[in-house]
Structure formats: structure tokens, C-alpha cells
Structure 1
Amino acid sequence: MGKTSKDKRDIYYRQAKEEGWRARSAFKLLHVDEAYGILNGVQRAVDLCAAPGSWSQVLSRKLYDTCQTDDEKAAVKIIAVDLQAMAPIRGVIQLQGDITKQSTAEAIIGHFGDNKEDKAQLVVCDGAPDVTGVHEMDEYMQHQLLVAALSIATCVLETGGTFVAKIFKGNATWLLSSQMKIFFKKFDIYKPPSSRPSSIEAFVVCSDFCLPTGYIPQVINTARDDIRILAQKTGSEVNRKLVPFIACGDLGELNEEDDRDTEKPNDEAQYAYDVVMSDAFYPPEFKEIVKQVYEEQLQIS
């Protein structure tokens, strides 16, 4: 019997079968590592949206199987999380749950302490929502999944840690870039050779993690939480300024056809340009956009 058309056109599919990877996507993480060295010196890692487990296999082979002694293996901690159950992988602790839920996020955070020696050094996420075929909807859902992964990363990553996640490239990519730069000194968008040219996917590669001064990490779910109330719960002024931008928010209150009771704007409200938010955490091009928004708000009021 001849080979299938899929075998003929995809060298990475065949290579994954030959090398024992659960999916061809293993090469995406391997290529990211080749380009950026994200696995160098890593002992503690989190794999979000891990099923079927190809990225966890890469972490296991690179971090766990290379250890020479039992003490070295004991120091390795790999946490894999997904809604679906996976077959066991050497050196990998599996959690079954939805990363957008508070209970799942708390279970992940529970595996890492407050000391730097206990924090994760790497968080990866190759997850994607069920594709609808409507690009704008798929892009939006993917970005919300990315926000959930990022919020977990801010809770478990050590200073200087790395975050890698799938992204669907689109009109909002520039906004996500600005958001990532709040927490990471280095940011890049990379499309590995193993990613099909026809695919809109790419990967954000964020390194040198550093929380803004005064920011308190939060688990964010924009579909469930009112982000304005969520940001106020910590009592941090920095959270109140940053969290709504991280989650992108929505325009529900601006919909004239919405019959729900919404808070009316105060005619005496004073709008001011926030130099702390814009200058300290955002790049120059985003600062100009923020200033324009405040000027428009001032004209409306």
C-alpha cells in the first residue's frame, strides 16, 4: 500500500513517527530551543495545554532523561496541564483541568513556592481553541487563552524566567506585543520551520521576566471576571492601571442597542494622561496611542 498524501507532503510528520514523538508539534518547541536556547539550564518547567504531550516529551528528554544521578532527577520538576488525560511521561507530573479556571491555576501554583529556588524557570503553551474558520473569532479566542497562560506565568515564573506560547497573528498582535513587554525585557515573535507556511500560527518568545514594581500577580479570566473589580481586589494601584489593558476589555458598555443598565459617565470626571502606566511600561509608539485615547475621552466629556 502506498503512503498517504499527508506522509508525502510533511517531512516532520514522518520524522515524528520515526523518533517516537506523539505529534509533529514537538519539532516546533525543538526549533524554538535551537533559535533561542530556552531549555538551557532549566530544571523547573510548566507545559500548559499539553495534550497529546509532544512538548512534555521534549521537556522530559531534554531536562529529565539527561540527568546522570537520582539527585539531579529529583531536582527536575515538569508540570503538564490539559483538559484531556495523557499517557504517562517520564519525570512529568500531570494535572487535568482547564487553565482558565481558578481551581486549575491554583493547583499549578501550588507546585511552586515563593522562593526563587522553587519557582518555575520556563512556562510553555501550545494550546489553541477549536478553530471556527472565522479568523477574527479564532484570533480573539486564542488571545484570551494566551492571557490565561500569561496570568499563570506571572504567578509561577522566577525573575529572569521565560514564557513561550502560540499566537494567531492578526490585527491585535501589536497590542499583545505591548502587553508582553510589561513583564518581559525581551520579546520576539517566531515562526519555526516546522510550522506550516499556510498556518497563521506563530510563537511569542518572552525572556527576562520581571514583575513591575508594586504589581501583584492575578489569575485572569476575561470571560468570567469583571476585570475592573478583579484589579481592585489586590489593593495595588499598579494592578488597577495594568490589568484592564492586559485583558483588552470589551466595548459592551458602548453598545447603544444594549438594554442592560450601565453606569453613566460622570460629566465632572477629569481625564488625565497617566505617565506611570505609559512611560514606565509601554513602548513609545503605544504611548502615543494612549495619549490619543485620553484626548478623545476629554473631548467627549
Structure 2
Amino acid sequence: MASQPERNLIQSLESAVVVMYLGKSSKDKRDVYYRLAKEQGWRARSAFKLMQVDEEFSLLEGVTKAVDLCAAPGSWSQVLSKRLVENKKEGQEAKIVAVDLQAMAPLPGVIQLQGDITKQSTADQIISYFDGEKADIVVCDGAPDVTGLHDMDEYIQAQLLLAALNITTHVLRPGGSFVAKIFRGKDITLLYTQLKIFFPNVTCSKPRSSRNSSIEAFIVCQDYTPPKDYVPNMGTPLLDLPPMDEQGRSNRTIVPFIACGDLCGFDSDMTYALPVAGEGYKLLKPVQGPITAPYLSAIQKKRKGFFNEQVSKKIGQ
């Protein structure tokens, strides 16, 4: 019979596998936006973030060509697809190009490109889909795998946003808009300054569906106006500004901050009671499960007794 430490080890290994099953029934089922996303057919709750930002700024009004960077699993592409189809007039064609390093399940009306947003070839391929024209809007909901070290996470996210901005300078038409996720930190004002070089109107927004406990926000850049004689170049870093200029003046810029969405509506930080009246709570499957999810290999390992073998080896030591 296994001792208590051995039983604890077995239980912890089994729990690690169970956590990977939680796409269908997890504590997130109490998150109202998580539930609404399933009920309305969105692939992720992040769809509400773009809708609430658009509600505040009317970014998708009249848009017929859009680029979605770091698109997987595709919730923002779903929102773009719905709105752009509504916008197109007779004889017009709505085009959406979704780009991500990961494979993404197909979406009707969305051109999918599996590529790296830091490469020139990716920018050229996006432009080719628009037949030489440019996009009306570029959106990016991408974020790195957070480490929990806030300074490092904020820096990596800022570099990802600059990579998205760099490719945006290749594919966005003058007067277009750019929306991207940011992590607000102590040096975020330097990032605002870099964006102000290309966009006269820059606003930091916080959708209602984004948790207050999260440092994420969304930068809304409007009226794309590149500097005179600026030539986009993917081969060099984009405007890595120091905190002070040559004259000793601060390079930091403060931009407006706006809360988006109905402030009397659902609160993403609250835990709402499940609708269990009568028949009980009905579990909904994810709208689109991941194509190559890590938990699928974990399930196979469990079925083949991999974790039991690891426990035996640990006990043998």
C-alpha cells in the first residue's frame, strides 16, 4: 500500500491532467462573458472586448478590408467578419486576412495565413490578398505567455506591439486605424510616444469585459499619418526611443484613458449565479476547440499509463 507522500504525488499528477480537461466545465463557467461567448457562438470571450471598443470609437464603420494579427483562436476575426459583411455595398467585397503562427480552424469569409508578423514575406503576402490595395484597419489581440514577472511581461508585450505596428506600416492605408492589446506599466508612456509618431489620435481604452484585476488595456490609434518620406522596413527595429531626447527633454506622452462598454452592464470581475432554475445548468462545449491542444497528448499519456510509470520511478528513487 502506498504511503501518504506517494498518494499525494499520484493525486497531484492526476490533478495536472484534470486541469487540462477544463475547457467544458471549469470555474470560468461563472464568468458571464465566458458563458455569453458560448451562447452566442464566439470562439472566445475576447470578442466582447473588440465589440465594446468599436461601440465607443465606431472603428468598423464603413470598413471593408481588415487584418487580424495574432488571430488565434479567431474571435476577433468573427467580429470583423460579421461587421464587414454588414458594411459592404453592392459590388464591393469584404476581405479579412487573419495571421497567426498557430494553425486556426477555418472561418467563413476569412483568409487565413500562418506566418510570422516580424517577417517581410508576411507583410507582402497580406498586401497580395488585397490586390495591391491597403487595409482600412489592423487589429492585434496577441500577448506573450506571461511569466508573472510584470516588468518582463510588459517589455515583451511592448515588443510584440511594435512588431505589429511595424507590419501595420506596410499594410494600412493612410487614415486607417490600428487597435492592439497593451500591458500598462511604468514605461507605457514611451510606447504612446512611438505610436503618436504615426497616429495623431491615440487613446488607451479599457473594455468592460476586460477584468479590472488585469493590467491589459487596448490602444486605439486613428488616422494613420506616417512621417514624410517614411519607408516601411521590417529589417530594422521600429523607433526604439530613449526616455530622454538629445536636449534632455522627456520623450513620454500621456494619452486619454476611456472605459468602454455599458458601465451598468455585466462586470467581468463579478461572480454571477449560474442559471440553475428548473432543469439545472447545462454545460456548453467550446465553440471551437484548439486544433493541437497540449491536453490531448496528456490524455493519451494517461491512457497509456505514462503518469503511473513516472510515479513508480519516483517511488523507486
Same fold (TM over 0.5): yes
How many Å separate the matches in 1 of 2:196 and 2:72? 28
How many Å separate the matches in 1 of 2:88 and 2:176? 21
The unaligned stretches of length 5 or more in structure 1 are 228-242, 250-285, 295-301
Q: 2:248 matched to 1:292?
A: yes
Deviation of 1:88 (Å): 1.3
Q: Which residue of 1 aligns with 2:39?
A: 18
Percent identity over the alignment is 58
Q: Retained in 1: the 8 A contact 2:118–2:167?
A: no
1:95-146 per-residue CA deviation (whole Å, 9 max, x = no partner) reads 00121233323322333455xxx21100000000111111111111111110
Q: 2:1 matched to 1:5?
A: no
Q: Which residue of 1 aligns with 2:111?
A: 93
How many Å separate the matches in 2 of 1:4 and 1:127? 23
Q: Which residue of 2 aligns with 1:204?
A: 219
How many Å separate the matches in 1 of 2:234 and 2:70? 16
The unaligned stretches of length 5 or more in structure 2 are 1-24, 251-317
How many Å separate the matches in 2 of 1:106 and 1:94? 14
1:151-190 per-residue CA deviation (whole Å, 9 max, x = no partner) reads 1111111111000000010122100111111111100000
Q: 2:213 matched to 1:191?
A: no
2:229 alignment partner, one of 188, 194, 214: 214
Q: CA 1:179/1:113 → structure 2, altered by over 3 Å: closer, same or farther?
A: farther
Deviation of 1:214 (Å): 1.2
How many Å separate the matches in 2 of 1:68 and 1:180? 32
How many Å separate the matches in 1 of 2:101 and 2:59? 25
Tell me which amino acid in the other structure corresponds to 1:47: D
Q: How many residues align?
A: 226
How many Å separate the matches in 2 of 1:189 and 1:293? 23
Q: 2:157 matched to 1:142?
A: yes
Q: CA 1:189/1:49 → structure 2, altered by over 3 Å: closer, same or farther?
A: same
Q: 2:64 matched to 1:49?
A: no
Structure number having the greater helix percentage: 1
Q: CA 1:41/1:68 → structure 2, altered by over 3 Å: closer, same or farther?
A: closer
Taking the TM superposition and a 5 Å limit, the aligned residue runs for 1:209-288 are 209-219=224-234, 225=236, 227=237, 243=238, 246-248=239-241
Structure with bigger gyration radius: 2
TM-score of the superposition, structure 1-length normalised? 0.70
Cα root mean square deviation, aligned: 2.1
1:178-223 per-residue CA deviation (whole Å, 9 max, x = no partner) reads 1111111100000100101111100100001111111111225xxx
1:64-122 per-residue CA deviation (whole Å, 9 max, x = no partner) reads 266575x33xx2110000011111112110000121233323322333455xxx21100
